[in-house]
């Protein structure tokens, strides 16, 4: 009878493109992965993978088997996790990665709720704006903002972030309010520092996405510095709404160009595709998703 780990090895070989890469993603030896592939092929009775010195590509039969196997194995994993969730209280270490500013505002409150519910769980949080390498950093789950460039990761969408253009009343009183995105070319904007690159801001104009080039005398790599400079009337800024919600509620800054706002930024929880998420990971993602649904993002 085929073992789950043998089937997982086959899936990883097809997804990663080589046995070496599959072994690395699974945290197993190359010899172990090769034995698993041989076991699957013996059980199925046909060659499933063409091997070369550098790559492993599925045969026609292998691709058909992969397409049927992947969702079936995922269902088995889901069923096992649901059963385990009913039988045992989550325990042990949960490693989480999240963006630096988003972490204290939204991830830490969820972590505190989670640890209060499950006292046998320990949590390590790595907060960084650099996209984490889940395998290298041994993360169970990570929160990513923006579209996912790596489709190999398994993901669950948690919510969306509205991004707004904003300015202080004092600035608008002195320089006027932009009525259309192109008006920004005549305004002083507070810019995010990027070496040798002109900054463009995306908008939704006439049913299409269009980038407008902006300029300004002050640029910085600090999000907090951008917010402070805009609040002091230094110029117009652009940022996720949740980061300046207090400034808006207090009347310190105002949002402009709302009807032209670009598509919202998705927030995802991601984990490794070849690893079954532990019950504590699933439960934490469930809790975080519920909290973000209620948040003013």
86 falls in which pLDDT band (50, 70, 90)?
low
Collapsing DSSP to helix, strand or coil, 54 comes out as: coil
Distance of CA 189 to the CA centre of its chain: 28
**95 sits in which H/E element:** strand 92-98
**Residue 195: is its pLDDT beyond 70?**
no
* pLDDT at residue 262, rounded to an integer: 92
Tell me, rounded to whole angstroms, the distance of Cα 235 from its chain centroid.
Answer: 30
Pairwise pLDDT comparison (23 vs 187), residue with the higher score? 187
What is the rounded CA–CA span in Å between residue 272 and residue 50? 25
Cβ(143)–Cβ(135) below 8 Å: no
What residues are paired with 211 via a beta bridge?
Answer: 202
* pLDDT tier for residue 9 given thresholds of 50, 70 and 90: confident
Distance, CA of 13 to CA of 81 (rounded, Å): 24
Q: Which CATH architecture has domain 4-86?
A: Orthogonal Bundle (1.10)
State the pLDDT at residue 213. 93
Q: Do domains 4-86 and 163-260 have the same CATH topology?
A: no
User: Domain 90-160+265-294: which topology?
Assistant: D-Maltodextrin-Binding Protein; domain 2 (3.40.190)
Question: Model confidence over 34-64: pLDDT tens digits?
Answer: 898 888 888 888 888 887 767 888 888 888 8
Strand order in the sheet with 121-127: 121-127, 92-98, 141-145, 265-271, 154-161
Residues of the chain with pLDDT > 70, as a percent, come to: 92
Task: Please tell me whether residue 261 adopts helix, strand or coil conformation.
Answer: strand
Instruction: Enumerate residues 6+ apart whose C-beta is below 8 A from 102.
Output: 143, 145, 267
Among 3.50.50.60, 2.120.10.10, 3.60.15.10, 3.40.190.290, what is the CATH number of 163-260?
3.40.190.290
Which pLDDT does position 274 carry in this prediction? 61
Interstrand relation of 49-51 and 56-58 (parallel, antiparallel or unpaired) = antiparallel
Q: How far apart are CA 237 and CA 234, in angstroms?
A: 9
Q: What is the pLDDT of residue 132?
A: 76
| pLDDT grade for 151, boundaries at 50, 70 and 90 | low
Contacts with 272 (C-beta within 8 Å, 6 or more apart), sequence order:
25, 134, 135, 153, 154
Percent of the chain predicted with pLDDT > 90: 50
| Domain spans of the chain, in order of start | 4-86, 90-160+265-294, 163-260
Tokens of 94: 């949960």
Spatial distance between the Cα atoms of 150 and 85, rounded to a whole number of angstroms: 29
State how far the Cα of 140 lies from the Cα of 94, in Å rounded to an integer: 6
Confidence of residue 187 (pLDDT cuts 50, 70, 90): very high
Question: pLDDT digits over 198-252, tens only?
Answer: 689 999 998 899 999 999 999 998 899 999 999 999 999 999 999 999 999 999 9
């Amino acid at each position: 009878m085929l073992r789950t780990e043998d089937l997982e090895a086959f899936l990883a070989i097809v997804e990663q493109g080589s046995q070496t890469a599959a072994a690395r993603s699974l945290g197993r030896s190359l010899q172990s992965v090769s034995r698993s592939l041989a076991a699957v092929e013996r059980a199925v009775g046909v060659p499933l993978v063409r091997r070369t010195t550098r790559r492993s590509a599925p045969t026609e039969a292998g691709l058909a088997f992969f397409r049927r196997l992947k969702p079936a194995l995922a269902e088995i994993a889901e069923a096992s996790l649901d059963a385990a969730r009913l039988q045992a209280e989550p325990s042990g270490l949960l490693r989480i990665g999240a963006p630096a500013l988003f972490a204290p505002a939204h991830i830490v409150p969820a972590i505190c709720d989670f640890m209060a519910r499950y006292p046998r769980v320990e949590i390590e949080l790595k907060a960084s704006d650099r996209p984490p390498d889940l395998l290298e950093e041994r993360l169970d789950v990570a929160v990513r903002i923006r579209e996912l460039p790596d489709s190999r990761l398994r993901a669950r969408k948690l919510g969306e972030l509205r991004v707004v253009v904003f300015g202080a009343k004092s600035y608008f009183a002195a320089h006027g309010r932009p009525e259309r995105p192109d008006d920004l070319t005549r305004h002083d904007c507070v810019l995010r520092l990027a070496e040798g690159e002109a900054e463009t801001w995306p908008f939704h104009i006439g049913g299409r996405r269009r980038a407008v080039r902006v300029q300004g005398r002050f640029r910085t790599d600090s999000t907090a510095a951008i917010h402070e400079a805009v609040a002091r009337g230094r110029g117009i800024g652009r940022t996720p709404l949740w980061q300046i919600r207090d400034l808006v509620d207090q009347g310190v800054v105002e949002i402009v160009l709302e009807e032209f706002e670009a598509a919202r930024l998705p927030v995802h929880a991601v984990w490794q595709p070849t690893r079954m998420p532990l019950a504590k990971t699933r439960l934490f993602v469930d809790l975080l998703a519920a909290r973000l649904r209620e948040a003013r993002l």
